[in-house]
Chain A
Amino acid sequence: AQSVTQLGSHVSVSEGALVLLRCNYSSSVPPYLFWYVQYPNQGLQLLLKYTTGATLVKGINGFEAEFKKSETSFHLTKPSAHMSDAAEYFCAVTTNSGYSTLTFGKGTMLLVSP
């Protein structure tokens, strides 16, 4: 079985500050890892994904995440927060070499203040 833990249901940052959203996973086989974002009244949008290869992956809107096998982590970062980054972020894992059956974390709401 696989699971995802996102530390912090809410994270608050100031505009221009570093964004760090934490994700730890549990998987008995090599994982595929994802970050999704949900803006208000919208669906889930894929930010970035790790499948194989380079462990530092870059996504849309300046976000990136690093797969650390030894720490079973896939934390999401952005050097400088924008007001438009305010949204809910979900980490997800799948281990069946496909994207269909994703296991999601509980989500982290990112609040950005001026």
Chain B
Amino acid sequence: EAGVTQFPSHSVIEKGQTVTLRCDPISGHDNLYWYRRVMGKEIKFLLHFVKESKQDESGMPNNRFLAERTGGTYSTLKVQPAELEDSGVYFCASSQQGRNSPLHFGNGTRLTVT
């Protein structure tokens, strides 16, 4: 089966611009998660979708970040306007139904804001 796919793999934008990251989960996985790793720091949880609904968005840093999962398939994470501190690697993960289903991570999108 195809794994979790993230686009783009790298993105370099200027402060104030908008960037949209995309995640295609494994087919059939209802759970979709976004995590972020800022340089030198921990990987931190951003939010969790169950199908198209936001189950937990407690990790979203501020209202410049907007995540969507229309139709319960792929998800997008938009940053508008981007700030320097948004630079980092954004990981997406998906899992099957069930609270103890293991997470499958994508390769991440490396975002650089200059």
Q: With an 8 A cutoff between CB atoms, is B48 at the interface? A: yes
Partner of A43, one of B91, B95, B101: B91
Contact across chains for A43 and B45 when beta carbons are under 8 A apart: no
Contact across chains for B108 and A97 when beta carbons are under 8 A apart: no
CB distance from A45 to the nearest CB of B (A): 7
CB distance from B51 to the nearest CB of A (A): 14
Partner of B99, one of A36, A98, A103, A105: A98
Q: Which residue of chain A is the closest to B31 with respect to CB atoms?
A: A100
Q: With an 8 A cutoff between CB atoms, is B3 at the interface? A: yes
Give the number of chain B interface residues (Cβ < 8 Å): 28
Q: With an 8 A cutoff between CB atoms, is B44 at the interface? A: yes
Within 8 Å CB of A4, what residues of B? 42
Q: With an 8 A cutoff between CB atoms, is B25 at the interface? A: no
Task: State in angstroms the CA–CA spacing of A101 and B99 once bound together.
Answer: 10
Assuming A43-B106, A43-B107, A100-B99, what are 4 further A-B pairs, CB within 8 angstroms?
A51-B100, A99-B100, A102-B45, A104-B35
A: residues with CB less than 8 A from B are 4, 36, 41-46, 49, 51, 90, 92, 96-107
B: residues with CB less than 8 A from A are 3-4, 31, 33, 35, 40-45, 48, 55-56, 59, 91, 93, 95, 99-108
